Amino acid sequence: MKELMKFIFTIFSLITVFSSIIVNETNVFFSTLIQDRKSKHVHIDTLVRMLSSENHYFYDPSNRADDSIIHHALQLTTNINLKDVRSFIYEEIPGMFTITSEIIVAGEGTDFTNIPIESSPPIEELLKDREIKENSLEKIPKETPKAPYIQPEKNTVFIYHSHNRESFIPHLKDSFDASSAQHKEINITLVGKRLGDQLIKKGIGAVVDTTDVASILYERNWKYRQSYDVSREVVEEALATNEHFLYLFDIHRDSVGRKATTTTIDGKTYAKIYFVIGKSHENYKENEKFAIELNRMIEEKYPTLTRGIARKDKTTGNGVYNQDLSERSVIIEIGGPENTLDELYNTVDLFAEIFAEYYFKDAVEVNG
């Protein structure tokens, strides 16, 4: 009986899927034939619909009919989207998932071949005790001591690291790719600390969290993809203890090669920035607006520093990235595994400068 019900449900699902595809595609096809007989011209709404089927820029969600329960159930259980034929082969072709990410703003040299990749190293790889390459950190300039600065009254920026052990091949022995570029000390948290220090110097209260997410995953026997579940606990605790936190920065380094993640400005080498927005929550548009403005300000001063902004849903990763907890929350990918710490530090210094401009302008608008 159970097998029969399973067979019936499978047949019903297949019929639903293919009938929906046929109806959708047929409607688009026949809409091209609908003309005003008097003027012999295609109606403007028909033309826009035709364009939107090829270019999402013309897509108007207000004209979309409500999706059925079956549509939502199928997408939830199988990741198949009846309105996207590509979803039928995502899991069959390696790398196919990358084309489901949306590029909101493309920086110089950015396309679907180098959008941010969520590598998924085994937990054992994260916890390996790797040696530091001798003299690899000597190039990093040490900051000259400056006069003490006044600690801001309120801490409004919370910086954390969901993938805290992300490190850099040039600094590690026996590291040859993004998955093996992991270290318990020389890692992305140093970049987050640098950003926090720079913001405080500019009068912006910032707290930097360096929780060892990798160790917690190991203790709980969790998968790497659950890193965001651990960091969510960290962020929620921070928000519960400080009502002033408004800006949430999850700092990462990307997994793509050096060519895509590096630029030179006035003879100095920098690691490029890429913003990532999770769209699998209802308020993602506010975070997107925040990222677009930051990206615009960066491009205005340092055109090659930013790789742009990508939008991701649950088919390409976590899809939320804790960004539902604040309207000014974003993942900031800085550099990649082939960059060096000094290149990321250079970038963070410029980003702090840009963000300070945004921050004080934003404070005036909010309070004014």
Residue 253 located in a structural domain: yes
Domain of 25 in residue numbering reads as: 2-88
Per-residue confidence (pLDDT) for residue 285, from 0 to 100: 95
**Measured between alpha carbons, how far is 192 from 208 in angstroms, rounded to an integer?**
7
Question: Is 307 among the domain residues?
Answer: yes
Same domain, 234 and 142: yes
200 plus 268 within the same structural domain: yes
183 and 266 both lie in a single domain: yes
One-letter amino acid for residue 56 of the chain: H
Q: Look at 52 and 301; give whichever has higher pLDDT.
A: 301
Per-residue pLDDT at 140: 77
Does residue 112 belong to any structural domain of this protein?
Answer: no
Mean pLDDT score of the chain, rounded to an integer? Answer: 80
Last residue of a domain, one of 30, 63, 88: 88
What's the CA angle centered on 286, arms 349 and 335, to 5 degrees? Answer: 30
**Same domain (yes/no): 76, 156:** no
Q: Are residues 74 and 170 in the same domain?
A: no
pLDDT at position 120, please? Answer: 79
- At residue 181, the pLDDT reads 95
Pairing of strands 306-312, 328-334: unpaired
Residue 239, classified by CB atoms within 10 Å of its CB into exposed (0-12), middle (13-18) or buried (19+), is middle
Q: Which helix (H) or strand (E) holds 341?
A: helix 341-367
Which element (helix H / strand E) includes 166?
none
- pTM reported for the whole predicted model: 0.73
202 C-beta neighbours (distance < 10 Å), count: 17
With respect to residue 96, please indicate whether it lies within any of the assigned structural domains: no
Q: Is residue 359 domain-resident?
A: yes
Asked if residue 52 lies in contact with residue 46, where contact means CB atoms within 8 angstroms, the answer is no
Q: What is the pLDDT of residue 14?
A: 65
291 & 346 share domain: yes
Query: Residue 21 in contact with residue 82, Cβ under 8 Å?
Result: yes
Domain count, the chain: 2
Rounded to a whole number of angstroms, the distance between the first and last alpha carbons of the chain is 68
- Are 130 and 266 contained in the same domain? yes
pLDDT digits (tens, 9 = 90+) for 9-67: 567 666 665 555 544 444 444 444 444 445 555 555 555 555 554 444 444 444 444 45
Query: Which of 48-52, 90-94, 147-151, 333-337 has the highest average model confidence (pLDDT)?
Result: 333-337
The mean per-residue pLDDT over the stretch 140-146 comes to: 64
| Residue 104, in any domain of the structure | no
Whichever domain contains 187, its CATH number is: 3.40.630
* Same domain, residue pair 213 and 310: yes
Average pLDDT over residues 69-94: 49
The reply to whether 97 falls in a domain is no
Instruction: Among 36, 70, 88, identify where a domain stops.
Output: 88
Cα-based distances in Å from 189 to 70, 138, 161, 366: 44, 19, 7, 30
Q: Is it the case that residue 279 has pLDDT exceeding 70?
A: yes
